[in-house]
């Protein structure tokens, strides 16, 4: 069964007052995300990956030794990444649940230090990619960054929070100011209840 583009969990203009415009979501979700869905479906048709889950395809096609990943991986991983990304954000102020705050303090010393490291990871990712808050197999939390469509599934980690730092995610609203986009993402856009539910 072919993968489908999921609807946004909120209206296209729901995040506009928080720093992510209707125009950005129309381009990012309706065009970019849809392209990953369409291209991914075409590439897996008639292969061993047809009928497998997104997660199985990502883990099965990732090549840790490759300079550039293959087309199936790139499209399917970006399909998965964006499925998570929309859910990790939401309209309205989101309070950070106590269990998440406690875990961040235990791992980073403070919530502010986590935010500092997360923003530095995203700003420091050369070219396209993602910044992540992940849970390792031993239960510890860490901030990571990945190139292009690579994600925590490739390393046996659980993605708790991810921020897309491809230019199409922020250029309409922030132009080339990626650090400002990242700060705004953490301060105004993150659905912290969703992040906590992934722990």
* CATH number, domain containing residue 55: 1.10.287.990
| 130 domain residue, yes or no | yes
Structural Rg of the chain based on CA atoms: 16
Same domain, 77 and 120: no
Q: What is the pLDDT of residue 160?
A: 98
CA 116 to chain centroid: 18
As annotated, the binding site for Mn(2+) includes: 28, 82, 164, 168
As annotated, the binding site includes: 28, 82, 164, 168
Among the three residues 88, 106, 133, which one is the final residue of a domain in this structure?
88
* CATH number, domain containing residue 140: 3.55.40.20
Pair 14, 179: CB distance under 8 Å: no
pTM for this entry = 0.97
Same domain, 112 and 186: yes
| 15 domain residue, yes or no | no
Q: What is the pLDDT of residue 1?
A: 80
pLDDT block averages, 10 residues each, the chain of length 199: 96 98 98 98 98 98 96 98 98 94 98 98 98 97 98 98 98 98 98 98
Q: What is the pLDDT of residue 196?
A: 98
Same domain, 106 and 191: yes
Same domain, 185 and 104: yes
What percent of the chain has a predicted confidence (pLDDT) above 90?
A: 98
Distance CA 177, CA 73 (A): 29
Among the three residues 35, 66, 88, which one is the final residue of a domain in this structure?
88
Q: What is the pLDDT of residue 92?
A: 86
Same domain, 190 and 103: yes
| Cβ neighbours of residue 198 closer than 8 Å, sequence gap 6 or more | 135, 158, 159, 160, 161
pLDDT tens digit string along 116-166? 999 999 999 999 999 999 999 999 999 999 999 999 999 999 999 999 999
Same domain, 48 and 103: no
| Cβ neighbours of residue 111 closer than 8 Å, sequence gap 6 or more | 96, 101, 104, 105
Q: Locate tokens 């099965």: which residue?
A: 60
Among the three residues 88, 107, 135, which one is the final residue of a domain in this structure?
88
- Spatial strand order of the sheet with 141-147 comes to 141-147, 129-135, 158-164
Tally of domains in the chain: 2
Q: What is the pLDDT of residue 93?
A: 84
- Run of H or E including 192: helix 192-197
| 176 domain residue, yes or no | yes
Same domain, 43 and 118: no
What would the two tokens of residue 35 be?
Answer: 């392209």
Residue numbers of the domain that contains 151:
98-198
Sort 7 into a burial class: Cβ within 10 Å, 0-12 / 13-18 / 19+: exposed
| 46 domain residue, yes or no | yes
Same domain, 84 and 113: no
Same domain, 108 and 62: no
């Amino acid at each position: 069964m072919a993968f489908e583009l999921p609807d946004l969990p909120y209206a296209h203009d729901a995040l506009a007052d928080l720093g992510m415009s209707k125009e950005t979501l129309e381009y990012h979700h309706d065009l970019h995300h849809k392209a990953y869905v369409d291209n991914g479906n075409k590439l897996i048709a008639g292969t061993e990956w047809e009928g497998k889950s997104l997660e199985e395809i990502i883990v099965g096609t990732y090549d840790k030794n490759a300079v550039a990943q293959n087309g199936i991986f790139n499209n399917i991983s970006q399909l998965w990444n964006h499925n998570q990304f929309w859910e990790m954000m939401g309209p309205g102020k989101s309070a950070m649940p106590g269990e998440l705050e406690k875990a961040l303090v235990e791992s980073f010393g403070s919530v502010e230090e986590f935010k500092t490291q997360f923003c530095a990871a995203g700003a420091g990712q050369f070219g396209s990619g993602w910044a992540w808050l992940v849970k390792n197999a031993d239960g510890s939390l860490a901030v990571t960054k990945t190139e292009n469509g690579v994600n925590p599934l490739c390393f046996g980690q659980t993605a708790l929070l991810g921020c897309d730092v491809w230019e199409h995610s922020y250029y309409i609203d922030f132009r080339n100011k990626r650090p400002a986009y990242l700060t705004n993402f953490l301060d105004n856009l993150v659905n912290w209840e969703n992040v906590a539910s992934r722990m």
